[in-house]
Amino acid sequence: MVYISSWDEFAERSIQLFRADPQSSRYVMKYRHCDGKLVLKVTDNRECLKFKTDQAQDARKMEKLNNIFFTLMARGPDVDISEVSGKEQSEAQPTKKGRGRKQ
């Protein structure tokens, strides 16, 4: 398991991963205050995507990903997330890809 260094790649692939198998995927956020570290993990028990940061600006991006995952999990994986706040980074591309894989 390696950390993904690019945020966009992490966000895109984690949404894809979730949509491919919504029932066994989970999204974990670990925050360690004393070291000032934040680790995000998305896994379906077969594949694991991780992202590590110590930057406050990434926390802002994470907030947007949080909202996407809240929406996906509470409303269902087929819901349109393009208008979920903070979607401006990866536009509609992951949406399209996720759907393609599902079919």
Partner 1 sequence: MVGSLAQPTHLPPYFKLRKVSSKSAREREREPSLFAFAMVLLQPDPFLNELTSMYERTTERGSVWVTLKRSSMKSKAKRNKMTSAGETIEYRCLVRATDGKKTISTVLSAKDHLRFQASYATILKAHMSALKKRERRDKKKAGDGQTKQEDLKKPPKKSSS
* Interaction site with partner 1 (CB under 8 A): 6, 8-9, 12, 22-23, 25-36, 38, 53-60, 62-63, 66-67, 69-77, 88-91, 93
Tokens of 2: 């390696």
SS3 32: strand
Pairing of the two strands 48-53 and 26-32: unpaired
Shortest Cβ distance from residue 78 to partner 1 (Å)? 12
* Of residues 49 and 62, the one with the C-beta less far from partner 1: 62
* Of residues 88 and 103, the one with the C-beta less far from partner 1: 88
* Of residues 3 and 70, the one with the C-beta less far from partner 1: 70
In the DSSP assignment, the letter for residue 23 is G
